[in-house]
Structure 1
Amino acid sequence: MTTPPRRTQADRRARSRDALLEAAARGLSRHGYAELSLAEVAREAGYTRGALYHQFAGKEELALAVVAWVEKTWNDEVRALGERAADPVGALLAVARGHAVYCRRDVAGVMMTLGIEFAGRDHPVGKALGRIFERLERECAERVERARATGAIPEGPPARVIAAAYLGALQGVAMELAGQAPHDEVLAERAVRGVLGLPPV
């Protein structure tokens, strides 16, 4: 019988970091940045406050790391669906359904909560969110333009306006119906179909 290999220091550090990030994401999703308790984050993750400070210098660094972590998991699980789609309309619908599924977890409200809290403020967390939202809107607008060029989406408001409405409708439905499968996924697609001017299903 072989003994399983011992975890390295790097493995243990990565595991504790992931646990702290997920606990912080839940805390930010529920309470926002101003009300986030680092002691509560550490306790919920199963670590001491000292372990948290060993990984993150403070609340701002932790929040920035959470934003990057949520962006990566969303890209891996949702954005990738759009990239695999055969055409721009398929990509927009796949992202809508994938986002609804992503929002079934209890960390999904992080971006919306922080976006509201830091709106119009000159703060590193707000700037990081702004870069992410800008990229998402730009990618969405590019898909709208490509779909219009083929006649798959009808003419209408400017593509950036459609993109903003698409993202707003998607976020609203996904957050309001978070966890209510399969209705969340079905209604997320219906909502964005309406914004895009596509026939209902």
Structure 2
Amino acid sequence: MTASPTRRTQADRRARSRAALLEATARGISRVGYGHLVLSEVAAEAGYTRGALYHQFADKDALVLATLEWVRETWYAEVGTVFDEDLAPADAIAELARRHAIYCRRDIAGVMTAIRVELGARDHPIRDALHAQQRELVARVRALVLAGRRDGTIPPGPPAAALAAATLAAIEAAVITLSGRADVDVDVAQRIARGLIAGPTASARRG
């Protein structure tokens, strides 16, 4: 037995409003941080009332936790598919950088950094959720680094986990710095990714 058209329409409207509110929250955090996030402004930017926001989210923390999950889901759908594609490890990391730059053009480049800076030293469920996502992503990139070292396409160097974390952080910082610069963000992000995983040149090592 299928749902009635009315119920489907209501569910669709709810899903659309939820997605709009979550993306507006991500933009708000990226722009002003967690502490300065104003829910009425989030709702207005998404095109809804504050009451509509509270109809779906109990409070600010529930909204931000849901936003982190939205970022994870959309990021893996638009960027993280690279982990399942048949690419050489170094190419996969560079492609991840390219897709991340494009993903962040919706003005959400700074959302993770803002939460990390504000809540990183506090015992807080939002911090815990962020750390879990970061560990997952570092592990995925670490696996690519190790695969590249096994096949000889990525040279030996720092521990794979450290290199993965540094590469992700450098890509993130570059994309934040170049927010609004669609003419250069992809090129710079890929240069950074390839430069870090390639290691120093022979001349740099000698001298």
Q: Assess if the C-alpha contact under 8 Å between 2:109 and 2:175 holds in 1.
A: no
Alignment of 1:42-81 (within 5 A): 42-81=43-82
Counterpart of 1:34 in structure 2 is 35
Instruction: Give the Cα separation in 2 of the matches to 1:44 and 1:186.
Output: 31
CA deviations over 1:101-132 (Å, ceiling 9, x no partner)? 11211122211111111112111110010001
Counterpart of 1:93 in structure 2 is 94
Letter in 2 for 1:46: G
Displacement after TM superposition at 1:199 (Å):
8.7
Aligned length: 196
Q: TM-score, normalised by structure 2?
A: 0.89
Deviating 4+ runs (over 2 angstroms): none
Instruction: Give the Cα separation in 1 of the matches to 2:145 and 2:58.
Output: 42
Relative to structure 1, the CA distance from residue 84 to residue 182 in structure 2 (aligned partners, 3 Å threshold; closer, same or farther) is farther
Counterpart of 1:161 in structure 2 is 162
Instruction: Give the Cα separation in 2 of the matches to 1:168 and 1:45.
Output: 29
Instruction: Give the Cα separation in 2 of the matches to 1:44 and 1:180.
Output: 23
Task: Find the residue that maps to 1:172 and give its secondary structure.
Answer: helix
Counterpart of 1:180 in structure 2 is 181
Relative to structure 1, the CA distance from residue 91 to residue 199 in structure 2 (aligned partners, 3 Å threshold; closer, same or farther) is farther
Instruction: Give the Cα separation in 2 of the matches to 1:118 and 1:85.
Output: 37
Alignment of 1:97-176 (within 5 A): 97-176=98-177
Unpaired runs of 5+ residues, structure 2, are 202-207
Letter in 2 for 1:161: A
Which of the two has greater helix per residue?
A: 2
Q: TM-score, normalised by structure 1?
A: 0.91
Relative to structure 1, the CA distance from residue 127 to residue 103 in structure 2 (aligned partners, 3 Å threshold; closer, same or farther) is same
Q: Assess if the C-alpha contact under 8 Å between 2:109 and 2:172 holds in 1.
A: no
Letter in 1 for 2:61: E
Give yes or no for the alignment of 1:190 onto 2:191: yes
CA deviations over 1:69-120 (Å, ceiling 9, x no partner)? 1111110111113422422122111101111111211122211111111112
Task: Find the residue that maps to 2:28 and give its secondary structure.
Answer: helix
Give yes or no for the alignment of 1:25 onto 2:45: no
Report the aligned-residue RMSD. 1.7
